[in-house]
Structure 1
Amino acid sequence: MHKGSCLCGKVTFEVDCDLPPPSACHCRQCRKHSGHFEASTDVPRDAVTVHGEAYVTWYATNKARRGFCSVCGSSLFWDPLDREKHKWTAIAMGAFDTPTGTALERHIFVSDKGDYYEIADGLPRNEQ
């Protein structure tokens, strides 16, 4: 069981499965939403229990909806808009409270990355 929360603790969650290796997304939307690049792991939606859902606000973009705490603003979730087709949700790695037992697998949308940092960890990169 992996546990996590937002900064203020109004939203907490548990994930009842092993965490797949996360990806780091450097797209413009993830950078704007998180303040840098965003690292998240995709888990089956039915393995996630959220407490304090009333404090989760969703912002929809063209392909996904992004969940954040309405009190402290912590970025927490990323859901594909086609929830019937995609039965998973992405959870921000920084929101986990416990050791995750996983490690970053790759970088995506590196063609959109900010000009103020370099990616130097040697992990695979996808331009888009």
Structure 2
Amino acid sequence: MHAGSCLCGAVTFTVEGNLPPPDICHCRKCRKQSGHCFASTDVPKAAVTVTGGDALRWYPSSDKVRRGFCGNCGSSLFWEPAHRDWTAIAMGAFDTPTHTRARVHIFVGEKGDYYEIGDALPQDA
């Protein structure tokens, strides 16, 4: 079991089972949503339990994706593709050790010009 929350604690969540290795996304939309790159793990929707749903807000960032955040403190929490049975959860929102490691950088062609990727993880354009 893995637990997490937003900054103010109004939205909490638990995830049953192990967390898959996260992706680190450098696309323009993820950078704007999070303030930098967005590290998240993709878990089956059935494994996620969210409480504080009255504070959870969803922003439809495209026809294919919506992004979940706390309406009180603004914490970025979820990235959810339409017509899929999984949701991506922000790694920084977990309160407990995740026992996983990043597996890949994605959309590196859109990364900000103010930083370099300094690890040996694979990079997808």
TM-score (ref. length: structure 1): 0.96
State the 4+ residue runs in structure 1 displaced beyond 6 angstroms.
Answer: none
User: Residue 48 of structure 2 aligns with which residue?
Assistant: 48
For residues 65-110 of structure 1, the C-alpha deviation after alignment (integer angstroms, 9 at most, x for no partner) is 000000000000010022xxx1000000000000000001000000
Shift of 1:118: 0.2
For residues 14-49 of structure 1, the C-alpha deviation after alignment (integer angstroms, 9 at most, x for no partner) is 000100000000000000000000000000000000
User: Residue 99 of structure 1 aligns with which residue?
Assistant: 97
User: Residue 75 of structure 1 aligns with which residue?
Assistant: 76
Alpha-carbon distance in structure 1 between the residues aligned to 2:79 and 2:124: 19
User: Residue 89 of structure 1 aligns with which residue?
Assistant: 87
Pair 1:17-2:17 in alignment: yes
Alpha-carbon distance in structure 2 between the residues aligned to 1:54 and 1:124: 38
How many residues get paired? 124
User: Residue 113 of structure 1 aligns with which residue?
Assistant: 111
TM-score (ref. length: structure 2): 0.98
Alpha-carbon distance in structure 1 between the residues aligned to 2:81 and 2:73: 23
User: Residue 59 of structure 2 aligns with which residue?
Assistant: 59
